[in-house]
Amino acid sequence: MNLDALKNAPRLLIEAKLQPIAGTRFQPTGFPDLGAATYNSATNTPMVLVESAQSMANRMEEVCWDHAKNCLHDALTGLPFVRSTLPDGASTNSILEAHRINSPYIVNSEEFAQIEEKIGFKKNQPFHPADKLAKALLHFDPCSLIHGIFLEKVGGVVRLPRVLTGFIEASNAQLASSGGVKVDRVQPETTGKSTPYGKADDGYGNVPYPRDNEFTGNVTAYFIVDLALLRGFGLGDDEFKALVALSLWKIRRFLETGLRLRTACDLELESELVVTRPKGTGWAIPSTEELTATLKHLIPALKSKLGPSPLEVKYSAAVAKKRSKKSDESPAS
């Protein structure tokens, strides 16, 4: 994988045109007390947010995990992550946990002390995240480094922004109103004397309902790889190349396997990915196969910089209680 075209670029920006796999409607993400996020662009174009940056970050983590085998995807064999065993024998891991290695199921373990030690945070002393934190995340969980992390259990300044950001918008968005009815084969009535089983509020009777959560429009996925942030970590050329390859692999995998966002939102690529920045380079995103080959070469080559895959930890209620007590006793900032 040749990255010469990106040598001086601060950002890599990618766009992908999407379309519903069937029909013309799609269901965007919804928010509590808001529903779909609709708005107008600067040119007064009706827009709707199809998938948020926070949701996309999680979706691009999930493509790294083979749920059928319950392990990392074959392309990522040897990539470090943290697996926590719970008291009942079940397990979770930093790839799938919402807060990555800051998950309470990981932080509240005796073994987390070695992660804290490598991060090197010391209270009331300057802390430079691009120094020890970046190297610690590369060692224990490079996906957390790409995803972004906030280890407030370690310290309020122990954080890094996302290297890889993605979101999906639709322009010229129009609401596609429809509706339906819940049919009760036993008791169609919802009121009156012919309701021996109960009322509509209890789930009985035929209940018509409106459906105002589908839209039409021109759907585009946007991805940003922060190359300047990656370079600022000072991790070395092979590490930089591996993290760029991993970011691009996540994008490719998401677009190939992760576009069924909801039951009523099943999308597909309409055309090939377009690099919008850096401009004028003619650089194209490598194929999944090329990115996989790059990762299979670089992950073993970086073995001396990478930690175990996985680092095994055990959740401890005693550690959780101790941390909670310590937090309660800390003076307010």
Asked whether 234 and 130 are in contact (CB, 8 A), the reply is: yes
Residues in the chain: 333
Residue type, 83: R
Final residue of a structural domain among 160, 192, 211: 211
DSSP state, residue 154: T
Short-list 192, 197, 115, CA closest to 151: 115
Whether residues 185 and 260 share a domain: the answer is no
Q: Looking at the structure, do residues 172 and 185 belong to the same domain, yes or no?
A: no
pLDDT tens digits, residue range 18-75? 999 999 999 999 998 889 999 999 999 999 999 999 999 999 999 999 999 999 999 9
Quick one: DSSP state of residue 5?
G
Model pLDDT, residue 332:
43
Residue 102 has a pLDDT of 94
Domain match, 199 and 264 both: no
Question: In terms of domains, do 157 and 298 share one?
Answer: yes
Q: Distance (Å, rounded) from C-alpha 25 to C-alpha 139?
A: 44
Let me know whether 197 and 124 are in one domain.
no
> Given 211, 235, 259, which residue is the final one in a domain?
211
What beta strand segments (E) does 22-114 contain? 30-31, 35-36, 38-40, 46-51, 65-66, 71-72, 82-85, 91-93
| Statement to judge: residues 67 and 196 lie in one domain | no
Residues 145 and 198 in one domain: no
Show the domain range for 201.
Answer: 179-211
On the question of pLDDT at 88 being above 70, the answer is: yes
Q: What is the pTM of this model?
A: 0.92
* CB-CB contact of 15 with 276 (8 Å): yes
250 and 237 belong to one structural domain: yes
Same domain, 155 and 194: no
- For residues 72 and 135, membership in a common domain is answered with yes
The one-letter code for the residue type at 9 is: A
The pLDDT tens digits of the residues spanning 297-308 come to: 999 999 999 999
Mention every residue, 6+ apart, whose C-beta is less than 8 A from residue 250: 60, 61, 63, 64, 146, 164
Question: Which residue in 36, 17, 78, 74 sits closest to 222, CA to CA?
Answer: 17
- Residue 234 and residue 201 share a domain: no
Render 243-309 in DSSP notation, one character per residue: HHHHHHHHHHHHHHH--EEETTEEEEESS--EEEESTTS---PPPHHHHHHHHHHHHHHTTTT---S
- Number of domains observed in the structure of the chain: 2
Give percent above pLDDT 90 in the chain: 81
Same domain, 117 and 192: no
Give residue 147's pLDDT.
Answer: 95
